[in-house]
Amino acid sequence: MDRHSSNDASKRLQRAATRMRDWRFHCWYWGDAIAIDGLLEADALGAAGSREHVIEVLDRWHRHCLPNFDDSLAPGAALLTLVMDGELPAAAGERLLTLLEGLPRSYGAMPALEPHRLFFRYGLCIDAIYHLPATYALAARWKSDPQLARKAIRIALDGMQALHCPSGWGQWFDPTQKRNNGVSWSRGLGWAVLGLLDLVHVLDGAAAGIDEVGDLAARVMQRLDQTQQADGNWAAVLDHPPAHAETSTASFYVAAALHPAARGLISVPDVVLKRATAACVRALAADGTFTGVSTDVLPSWDIKTYEQFHTEPSPWAQGAAVRAFAALARKALNETAKV
């Protein structure tokens, strides 16, 4: 790759990361974790101000947001990384882990993350595979506790087992109904595969069962390889023709395909990655907004609720895009260095 292409990749990352800072987090919601993770990745690649923004957000949350059940959706991996770096107080990490350890179980080791909200009261949403295993993996590093590493792996494997369905992995599992909803939501597969790869990367082969996590990540990527549309995007629901296209799946795919943990683990077809990359570039507006992404998708047993949707800027879309453009910028820099 030439220097011009490398500069283009860095500029796209800078635009996306700058736009990401327009979301001023305080209480946490589903998908917020990837926004914070994306900013830390962007900072490592020269997106000025990103790390400082993250520290300010997390410090304000810890000091001024009263402890609550929504803390379970906090960006735990980023939070514990900054605690270990000495940039956040240890009490912030203890606050999060204490809450997580007190939650009821949904399936196996996987907790029910929001017992106070009717939609999520008992069950498991696939989004949790993104942030929760990585949180426990970083907690294992912070505490030097291999039991926490084993728990991270069990959460990932138990969660994906509960969600597995004929078309892939469903968005939602409810233990009171003893089944998942069977809706293979393509963005949900993106959440899962990126979370699984983050877990593999953090633990770096240092825990029993991590090979199974890697194999599972490869299976999810293979399912996405098989279902990409010609324009580089994916339908919001796999194997369901009435479903509209969901642009954020392409950003998850690019971030996963170029993830450091994917090397030697996942074989990515060049044509799928090229089409997904082109789709990401098209979806990035001039002001850095990642466009074409569905609004909040609540768990449902009716597949029709997933077929059509409004689109709007969102932190989960923007965060996934920042991670994708960070991966592309890193790839461009590595290729430039070889020339």
In the chain, where the domains are located:
3-338
4: pLDDT strictly greater than 60: no
Which is more confident, 145 or 119? 145
Residue 32 CA to residue 319 CA, distance in Å, equals 8
Binning pLDDT at 50, 70 and 90, where does residue 1 land? very low
2: pLDDT strictly greater than 70: no
Most distant CA pair in the chain, distance: 58
- Residues 298-329: tens digit of each pLDDT: 899 999 999 989 999 999 999 999 999 999 99
CATH class given for the domain over 3-338:
mainly alpha
For residue 36, which of 59, 68, 6 has the smallest C-alpha distance?
59
338: pLDDT strictly greater than 80: no
β partners of residue 169: 164
153: three-class secondary structure by DSSP:
helix
210: pLDDT strictly greater than 70: yes
302: three-class secondary structure by DSSP:
coil
Binning pLDDT at 50, 70 and 90, where does residue 5 land? low
In terms of Cβ atoms closer than 10 Å to its own Cβ (0-12, 13-18, 19+), residue 245 is middle
289: three-class secondary structure by DSSP:
coil
**126 in Cβ contact with 171 (< 8 Å):** yes
Confidence (pLDDT) at 339: 62
Confidence (pLDDT) at 336: 81
Confidence (pLDDT) at 167: 96
Amino acid at 290: F
Residue 264, both tokens: 């030697």
**220 in Cβ contact with 265 (< 8 Å):** no
89: three-class secondary structure by DSSP:
coil
**252 in Cβ contact with 193 (< 8 Å):** yes
Residue 228, both tokens: 């990409």
CA triplet 58, 59, 62: central angle to 5 degrees?
85
253: pLDDT strictly greater than 80: yes
Binning pLDDT at 50, 70 and 90, where does residue 205 land? confident
Confidence (pLDDT) at 27: 95
Mean pLDDT of 168-192: 97
- Residues 35-88: tens digit of each pLDDT: 999 999 999 999 989 999 999 999 999 999 999 999 999 999 999 999 999 999
